[in-house]
Amino acid sequence: MSYAAAAIEPAGSSVDVSQVHEASLFEAARAINTNRLTSERYTEVLLERTHKFASLNAFITVDDDKALSAARAADKARLAGKRRALPGLPIGVKDSYLTMDLPTSFGTAVARDFKPATDAKVVTAMKDAGCVVLGKNNLVEMSYGLTGLNGHYGQAKNPYNVLHITGGSSCGGAASVAARLVPAALGGDTVGSIRVPAALCGVVGFKPTPGRWSGSGVAPISNTLDTTGPIARRVSDCDLLDSIATGNYSSPQRLQASLKGTRLAVARHYYLDGADAEVEKVFNDTISKLKDAGASVLEVDLGTDFGPMVEEANWALFFHDTQPDVTAFLRDQKIPLTFEEIYDGLESHIKTRWQRFVLTTGAGYTEDVAYKDALFRRRPEVRRRFDSQVFSRADAIVFPTTLCAAPTIAEQWQYTVAGRTVNDVFLSRNTYPASFAGLPGISIPMGLTENGLPLGFELDASSGSDKALLTLARRVEQVIGFVRPPSVSA
């Protein structure tokens, strides 16, 4: 399949079976349903690639026999006349999701051999639609980080340049989709853990409105902020997975690339503040493309106090929720571990953060008064500003997903952007406002830096408008075009 052919929308999609690893979900499904490819052969190809590129550390667990057995069963069901949305299509699943056929470690060493008795609800939905779980993707331990480092299972590496990070915490999912090991993966996003790695690895990451996708059977950080969601190489594939996860299956139709009548908002004072010069240039070039396609772009201002207010209140919720929510999850899912055992086994840099911010005895622990202020005063105020300044006037607010390209692995904890020294948390600077406000957001590739590293373009919309956002993102994707695959995919 030529790379240009990948731009064809689902209704007319096709795939060269000799390059099946490049296929989108729709293209692979079409090839299987027209008997030009079997799930078994597709799964074999992807397993071969997964082992070939094992040094990316994209997976914690892969069981070839189970994946191939499931693929053969899918082929048998299809030949018997059973039509399903994901006819034996292999996907990756973040190792924070319970999976009854594969161990679930949560990225920890202490749960390395834990085998759940049930699947997470979203995994059940995907299996019912016909998918094959190729393996469990690597993640930052307990999903508590943004760089992709896991001291137990290895540093996930960026397929565009293995000396650079993937972003996190859904690091393995983004790396495996970018490297063409799977066409899609299931991830989780609390402050940017789907969108950040998707942006840095040149793929699409969708964070639904909280509650749209079930979090049942998925290890939490903060039930206030957490969402599960998809990572793929096409917005249409995220749209498909969204329809399956929500029980409203529908196949996205062909769209026109025109953006006539579309209204986009830009809040430069916040979302471009501190951006790397190259990121800002690529973003401005992207905005020009969208204007040329008919979109109107208006400048908005969320207030000079927006940044400090969101930052302080967001992290107050994030850290305060962790201990009670993880404790309840372990109890309710009958996982034979305690919070204390999880804490005792954490790798050092995460353990230090938990000790300071998560434990009630920590120096940085958020007391109940500050927590309630963040939840009941600041969060409604941030939502009010988005509604009054943005969504009353525009269909979405747009900005660079991250303010820099992927830092190197060697400098992942501290590096320089636009002349300022920043740390790993800087990667979520533009993504956590949507998390705090409970908005749906999607990151799509907008280009590559001169050094060949991907950059993401995010669109956030009003709470509950997920389908409209996905439709808009598909149109924007067609206008922007597609970044070239990483060299590792060859």
Q: Is 169 a catalytic residue?
A: yes
Q: Do residues 455 and 279 lie in contact, with contact meaning Cβ atoms separated by under 8 Å?
A: yes
Separation CA 485–CA 201 (nearest Å):
10
CA-nearest of 178, 238, 230, 166 to 203 is 178
Positive or negative, the CA dihedral 329, 332, 336, 337 is positive
Residue 367 makes CB contacts below 8 A (sequence gap 6+) with none
Q: Is 39 a catalytic residue?
A: no
Q: For 379-402, give the secondary structure using H, E and C.
A: HHHHHHHHHHHHHCCCCEEEEECC
Q: Of 24, 169, 222, 243, which is the active-site residue?
A: 169
Q: Is 243 a catalytic residue?
A: no
Q: What is the DSSP string of 314-361?
A: HHHHHHHHHHHHHHHHHHHTT-S--HHHHHHTS-HHHHHHIIIIISTT
Dig out the tokens for 37 from the structure: 């490819």
Please give the radius of gyration of the chain, using alpha carbons only, rounded to the nearest integer: 21
User: Hey, what amino acid is at 387?
Assistant: D
* Beta-bridge mates of residue 443: 205, 458
The DSSP 8-state label assigned to residue 142 in this structure reads G
**Residue 292, CA distances (Å) to 286, 299, 445, 475 in order:** 10, 17, 18, 13
User: Hey, what amino acid is at 82?
Assistant: K
Separation CA 370–CA 367 (nearest Å):
6
Q: Of 94, 157, 207, 467, which is the active-site residue?
A: 94
| Three-state secondary structure call for residue 281 | helix
CA-nearest of 406, 465, 438 to 310 is 438
Catalytic annotation, residues:
94, 169, 193
